Amino acid sequence: MALRTPLTRAVRRATSTATATPALSASSAQWRRGNATVAPVTQSTGPKKGTAMVFMNMGGPSTTDEVGSFLSMLFADADLIPLGRLQNYIGPLIARRRTPKIQKQYAEIGGGSPIRKWSEHQAAEMCKLLDQTSPETAPHKPYVAFRYANPLTEDTYKQLLADGFGGGNGGRAVAFTQYPQYSCSTTGSSLNELWKWRTRLEGKRGSGEVEPKGAINWSVIDRWPAHSGLVEAFAELIEQKLATYPAERRDNVILLFSAHSLPMSVVNRGDTYPAEVAATVYAVMQRLGMKYKYRLVWQSQVGPQPWLGAQTSDTVKNLMKKGQTDMLLIPIAFTSDHIETLYELDKEVIGEDAEGHEGVKRVDSLNGSPTFIKALADLAAAHLKSGEACSPQMILRCPGCTSERCLAQKEFFARQSGQDKEEAAAA
């Protein structure tokens, strides 16, 4: 209770009004020093138990049979697709209507999404590197927790308990978002889900004010849009693809950085995603010496509501009409291939909108890039050493947020540092 009261006041102060923003954003160093909400996490896990590294992402159906349940969970998620009070009625209807069409799309890309394969590979390879670079927190154990597909967050949490983390045994886990740019629709939704299952499986129901002894101590890597290793991995893949154009055409290729769009209702609520995606794009362009014309464009809009544009598809069609036929599509907000790259970009945008023109190409996704996997390991090692529970930015809610779930989730993750200190002091 003693921990919760000042924390609650601090988080509410930090998140309830837009007027709080300038004071908090003035200096993250000052924020860290001057505010207890993101105090360092004490390293309580020894070499025996190690550290669970949990990769969070949306996931995708591994087979066409899983498409129905995937879509039904996706459209039920008000954090991702806000449908108002009728969400539980409209969501399943939309999911059912879209299932046959989306099943066909998955059939065309090989019968399922490769996101699980890549996520498991990236997590496992990262942990091998981390065991060398961060021996004090080793062994590092890789887990994947998806929001809408297997392995679901609930199942992964149960696996953590079965493996001896939490449930009275204590231990440390890092929730590592695989969305480099934070959105309340993506990382926020995954954290809400993680907090929900943590409360159900380990915590007290209701307010959760008193932390149970021996629960998992969580910290979060919540955003990394301009991490130098991520930027380098993107830049390498772009340079590889640019090298496939004849030298005399290369300087005139337009780079189209394509990210998943957001409903304007989410953007206008103050979501940080558009600014963070732009930060990635700008950092990659700086690494490329600002040598090319480029645009940030947005894909995957669904439904009749206004979404953030310009749309990738419209942009390619318009440039083609103007005679610009050398364009390089760069998936800038995904860390591996999934339907948005393999179907939407490759088959719809390049195959249909650009009519398969040889000058319109896509940069390979990060997938198994060794540079990318090293970046993940560097990022994770720095996080483990820093002892931060989460970034200062994660504590600040969107100016237009009215969700009590967001508030409770943020309070929980920020409180993790205090919980761990209390346990260490009692030990």
Residues annotated as catalytic (active site), given as ranges = 227, 378
x-marked contacts with ligand FES along 72-111 as a string, rule CB under 6 A: ----------------------------------------
Q: Which residues pair with 263 in a beta bridge?
A: 307
CA distance 216 to 40: 16
Q: Which two tokens stand for residue 222?
A: 């919540």
Characterise 146 by phi-psi region: left (phi > 0), alpha (psi -120 to 50), beta (else). Answer: beta
Min. distance of Cβ 406 from ligand FES in angstroms? 3
Site for ligand FES in 201-220 (CB under 6 A): none
Q: Which is nearer to ligand FES, 138 or 279 (CB)?
A: 279
CB of 402 to ligand FES, least distance (A): 8
Q: Closest separation between CB of residue 271 and ligand FES, Å?
A: 6
Consecutive H or E run containing 11? helix 4-15
* Shortest Å distance, C-beta 37 to ligand FES: 15
With CB under 6 A as the rule, give the number of residues binding ligand FES.
8
Coil, strand or helix at 56 = strand
Closest by Cα among 363, 342, 332 to 243: 363
| Identity of the residue, 12 or 295, whose beta carbon is nearer to ligand FES in the bound complex | 12
Q: How far apart are CA 383 and CA 220, in angstroms?
A: 9
Residue 394 near ligand FES by CB under 6 A: no
Residue 367: Cβ within 10 Å count: 18
406 binds ligand FES (CB under 6 A): yes
Q: Is 383 helix (H, G, I), strand (E, B) or coil?
A: helix
Q: Which of 281, 360, 398, 414 binds ligand FES (CB under 6 A)?
A: 398
Residue among 319, 332, 381, 401 that touches ligand FES (CB under 6 A): 401
Closer residue to ligand FES, CB minimum distance, 16 or 64 = 16
Site for ligand FES in 263-282 (CB under 6 A): 269
Please identify which residue in 43, 44, 265, 403 interacts with ligand FES, judged by CB under 6 A: 403
DSSP state of 292: S
- Nearest CB to ligand FES, comparing residues 67 and 76: 76
Which 8-state DSSP code applies to residue 42? P
Applying CB under 6 A, which part among 160-168, 341-349, 358-366, 397-405 lies near ligand FES?
397-405
Q: Element (H or E) spanning 55, and its range?
A: strand 51-57
CB of 116 to ligand FES, least distance (A): 27
Nearer to ligand FES, 42 or 261 (CB): 261
At 327, the amino acid letter reads M
Q: Which residue has the tokens 């000052």?
A: 30
Region near ligand FES per CB under 6 A, out of 62-70, 292-300, 330-338, 396-404:
396-404
Q: Minimum distance from CB of 80 to ligand FES (Å)?
A: 11
CA–CA gap between residue 423 and residue 427 (Å, rounded): 6
Identity of the residue, 8 or 119, whose beta carbon is nearer to ligand FES in the bound complex: 8
CB 270, min distance to ligand FES, A: 7
Bridge partners of residue 361, in order along the sequence: 328
| Distance between CA atoms of residues 332 and 171, nearest Å | 34
The size of the chain, in residues, is: 427
* Omega before 310 within 30 of 0, i.e. cis: yes
**Strand runs (DSSP E) across 277-371, as ranges?**
294-299, 327-331, 360-362
Strand partners, 172: 51, 217
Q: Which of residues 142-201 bind ligand FES (CB under 6 A)?
A: 184, 188
* 56, 176 Cβ separation under 8 angstroms: yes
Among 397, 411, 417, 419, binds ligand FES (CB under 6 A): 397
| Token pair for 376 | 């993940």
User: Shortest approach of ligand FES to residue 273 CB, angstroms?
Assistant: 10
Is the distance from CB of 95 to CB of 110 less than 8 angstroms?
no
Which of 160/406 has CB closer to ligand FES?
406
Binding segment toward ligand FES, per CB under 6 A, in 217-225, 229-237, 279-287, 398-406? 398-406
Q: Is 262 a binder of ligand FES (CB under 6 A)?
A: no
Helix or strand holding residue 12 (H, E): helix 4-15
Identity of the residue, 367 or 391, whose beta carbon is nearer to ligand FES in the bound complex? 391
The residues that touch ligand FES, with contacts defined as CB under 6 A, are 184, 188, 269, 397-398, 401, 403, 406
